[in-house]
Amino acid sequence: MKEKDGDSPGLPVRAAKRPAVSSAAPYLFLAVFIPVAYLLLSDLALSQLGLQMQKIMLFCVGAAVAVGACLLWCGRLEEREAVAILLAIGLIMRVGVMLYTPYTVRQHDIGDIGTGGHIDYIYTLARTLRLPATNNQQFYQPPFYYAVAAVVYRLAMLIRNTKDFAFNAVKLVPCFASCATMLVSVKIFRELKLSATALAIATAIVCLHPAFFYLAASINNDMLAILFLAIAVLYLIRWLKRQSFKNSILLALAIGFGMMTKMSVAIIAPVAAVVFAFVFFRRLKSHTGMELIPKFAAFLGICVPLGLWYPLRNWFLFRQSPGYVLLLSTDQPIYMGGHSIVQRFLSLPFATEMFARGRIFGDPARDYNIFMFLIKSSVLGEWDWSFEKLGTLAGQLVIANMLLIAVSLIAAAYVLIRARDKESRLKKALFALIWLSEMAFYVEFNLSYPFGCSMDFRYIVITVIVGAAFIGMAYDHVMHRHPRLPSAALVAMLCPLLLFTFSSVLFYTVI
């Protein structure tokens, strides 16, 4: 195929020639499509354990793949078409999993009305239209997600006055957030100036990663927090390139609303502080550093009140510290403090914790090693009881996930070592800092809060986007350094990705 300007040699996806659509249009489409799909298909999806919905999902995914294959065969697969097809498959999977998963299945701490779980938080806001009068159980969490979910709950009750219908409708919020995260991720990858094929590779990982599937059906604040974190990463990259008031304000809004959704989003704030300090001192050399002071003031004036008003409220009312996490009893089976640091953090017990009989699924009451649990929970969650008779397929997915994780770590090391130009080096250092911050938070959290649930991958999902970006950047580096790389080598490089995406789609259309 004849190469196009702006793309790397030997790549199957061509650079786009047409301008992108309005940046707001895809989000408006999601805001309409997802609720309509719920209204039309929710009853079908929840009947017969979702078997009909899964058939529809497989058919739609197959059709999208067929369209992509035809375009590739005809030499007409451009960047825009490739990304659109991947986004469509990701949308199908997210909406489909959301539809066939009842709000009582594969959830975390949802409880019931009157128990203080996520459902009770949503129901209380929907009924009283007031902030909670207690910080018991999940009521200690910031309210933004629960307020949005309460609005959806009330609207759903107007359509059909049944609590099951309304609580299932609440899944529209995380489903929208999961789908929107795909769009934000594509923007992040484009900021990195990835070639068309590298962009497609990175997009495929985010679109087809199972963590985004099951989080799209979760009745909690995880997925919305991940969306705000992804937006913060996007605008941090843009601020690094151009320190405008617009980028400063949008970054502040993303972090502020993220912290108003879940306090763990604050992990991006120190990263932003490092970027701010670096740019400030660099610009001082050219006597333009003081121009950033008003932008810093605008950032702080927006981010701090948005992010900290609720923790301050809870401190004054309940003496709840800003970093408070609901305390659990050490008598529970999920307490892992009895295992040594070596067992939990400094070993890789694949034989006993991964591939021993009956251990392929994550179990927070049994697994103690955080790396083994990360690998399993990132694609399967922690619900072994809900995946009956799927051990073989689950094993395939976990192995594919291990390969992809290994590729992403190798890619990150390769890119960081090979970075040459100044702008590229800064962006890669930023991604490395984000990954290190997330992992440091995760390890510290597991040290101070040694429970099985603390090991869940849902706390560091943003690393999927970071890893995908490094893989895309590494692909471009390899292709530019070795433009005559044989096709067989390219296929070998993509095999872990192909196995991962195939296993991911197959598993979540047959469970």
3-state DSSP of 413-437: HHHHHHCCCHHHHHHHHHHHHHHHH
Q: By C-alpha distance, which of 475, 507, 508 is closest to 489?
A: 475
**Residue 479: pLDDT band by 50, 70, 90 thresholds?**
confident
What pLDDT, on a 0 to 100 scale, did the predictor assign at position 405?
Answer: 95
pLDDT in tens, 79-95: 888 899 999 999 999 99
Q: Is the pLDDT of residue 19 over 90?
A: no
Give the CA count within 13 Å in the CB-facing half-sphere of 455: 27
Q: For 17-21, 122-126, 341-345, 373-377, which range has the lowest pLDDT when averaged over its residues?
A: 17-21
Judged by phi (left if over 0) then psi (alpha if -120 to 50, else beta), residue 37 lies in alpha
Q: State pLDDT tens for residues 306-363.
A: 999 999 999 999 999 888 888 887 888 889 888 889 989 988 888 888 887 778 888 8
Residues with Cβ within 8 Å of 22's Cβ and at least 6 positions away in sequence, in order, are none
Q: What is the pLDDT of residue 204?
A: 95
Residue 241 has pLDDT above 80, yes or no: yes
Q: Categorize the per-residue pLDDT at 384 as very low, low, confident or very high, splitting at 50, 70 and 90.
A: low
Reported as a pLDDT band with limits 50, 70 and 90, residue 470 is very high
Chain mean pLDDT for the chain: 88
Q: Cβ(420)–Cβ(297) under 8 Å?
A: no
User: 451 - beta bridge partners?
Assistant: 335
Whether 287 has a pLDDT exceeding 90, the answer reads no
In this prediction, residue 1 carries a pLDDT of 33
Quote the pLDDT of residue 112: 87
Neighbours of 226 (CB within 10 A): 30
Q: What's residue 11's pLDDT?
A: 53
Would you state the pLDDT for residue 72? Answer: 83
Entry pTM: 0.93
Confidence of residue 262 (pLDDT cuts 50, 70, 90): very high
User: Lowest-confidence range among 12-16, 24-28, 327-331, 433-437?
Assistant: 12-16
Q: Which pLDDT score, from 0 to 100, does residue 12 have?
A: 62
Confidence of residue 423 (pLDDT cuts 50, 70, 90): low
Residue 489 has pLDDT above 80, yes or no: no
Higher pLDDT among residues 202 and 287, named by residue: 202
Q: What's the pLDDT score for residue 487?
A: 65
- Helix, strand or coil for residue 224? helix
The arithmetic mean of pLDDT across residues 272-276, rounded, is 94
Checking if the pLDDT of 68 tops 80, the result is: yes
DSSP secondary structure string, 263-289?
Answer: GGGGGHHHHHHHHHHHHHHHHHTTT-G
Buried b (16+ CB within 10 A) or exposed e, 182-208: bbbbbbbbbbbebbbbbbbbbbbbbbb
Give the pLDDT score at 48: 65
More confident residue, 148 or 329: 148
> Is it the case that residue 180 has pLDDT exceeding 70?
yes
**Average of per-residue pLDDT across 96-124:** 91
* Average pLDDT estimate for 158-186: 95
With a cut of 50, say whether residue 2 has pLDDT above it. no
Confidence at 76, pLDDT banded by 50, 70, 90: confident
DSSP per position, 451-479:
BGGGG-GGGGTHHHHHHHHHHHHHHHHHH
Sorting pLDDT into bands at 50, 70 and 90, what band is 424? Answer: confident
